[in-house]
Amino acid sequence: MKKTWFKWAALGAPALVIAGCATYPDPATTRRVAEKMVNESFTAPAPALLKRLAQDKSQQICSKIGGAQLTQEEAAEVTRLARASIKYPPSGKLVGDWKRGDKLAHDGAGDRIQRGRLEKRKENGGLCQNCHALAPGEINVGNVGPSLTGYGLQRGTSDAIAKLTYERIYNAWAYSPCSNMPRLGATGHLTPEQIIHMVAYLIDPQSPINSR
């Protein structure tokens, strides 16, 4: 009896595997099913939180199934959309106060859910230290992104560097499509005025970032 059971089990296992593979949905269907599950299971006490469920076009492109790589066309489209999203401060000034930038780079407040509600705050922070090494000697820093220590010393303080730095903070996908860098300006988390202070923190010779 045991031999018969093992025989059928041996024959049945491959059949189950084949059947499972045959019924596995294509990537588009998998995406729809997954998004439906998330939308139906997410209950937001505050209506403002529901906006987090809606992906923009860039996020849809970047949400590849199974770790699939971007095609050249997809990467080009994400870059185009990112560049189109960038807005500059009305003043045209791209370098602000490094001291304010220092505070923003270490402040993680804003858009956090507290007791089922978005926290009430006058100004969001950038929390750059969560992913980057900042001023020399700081211990509580991340290593998900590249070190920013000595950023201005290495790159200088030209108008071109200020513009590049501003754009990378505003929407990094303009240079690195689908990277882990938050799109701080494009999502409205930081204002252009806040971003110019962070630019100053990175390139101003007086900033702790550029301490020798």
- Hey, which residues does 114 pair with through a beta bridge? 117
Q: Rounded to an integer, what distance in angstroms lies between the CA atom of residue 31 and that of residue 36?
A: 8
What pLDDT score was predicted for residue 177?
A: 96
pLDDT digits 0-9 by tens, 197-211: 999 999 999 999 999
Sign of the CA dihedral running 104, 106, 109, 112: positive
Q: Rounded to an integer, what distance in angstroms lies between the CA atom of residue 104 and that of residue 123?
A: 9
Tokens representing residue 140 in the block: 């509580």
The answer for residues whose C-beta is within 8 angstroms of residue 172's C-beta and 6 or more apart is 82, 179, 181, 182, 183
Helices (H) and strands (E) in the chain, counts: 8, 2
For all residues of the chain together, what is the average pLDDT? Answer: 86
Determine the average pLDDT of the residues in 5-19: 47
Among the listed residues 212, 209, 202, the one whose alpha carbon sits nearest the alpha carbon of residue 138: 209
Residue ranges per structural domain of the chain: 86-210
CB atoms within 10 A of CB 38: 10
In this prediction, residue 23 has a pLDDT band, given cuts at 50, 70 and 90, of: low
Long-range contacts: 145-149, Cβ < 8 Å, 24+?
145/180, 145/181, 148/202, 148/209, 149/209
CATH of 86-210, one of 3.40.50.1370, 1.10.10.10, 1.20.120.450, 1.10.760.10: 1.10.760.10
The values of phi and psi at residue 94, to 5°, are -110, 0
Contact present, 93 and 102 (Cβ < 8 Å): no
pLDDT digits 0-9 by tens, 92-149: 999 999 999 999 999 988 877 777 777 777 789 999 999 999 999 998 889 999 999 9
The pTM for the full model equals: 0.80
Contact present, 53 and 40 (Cβ < 8 Å): no
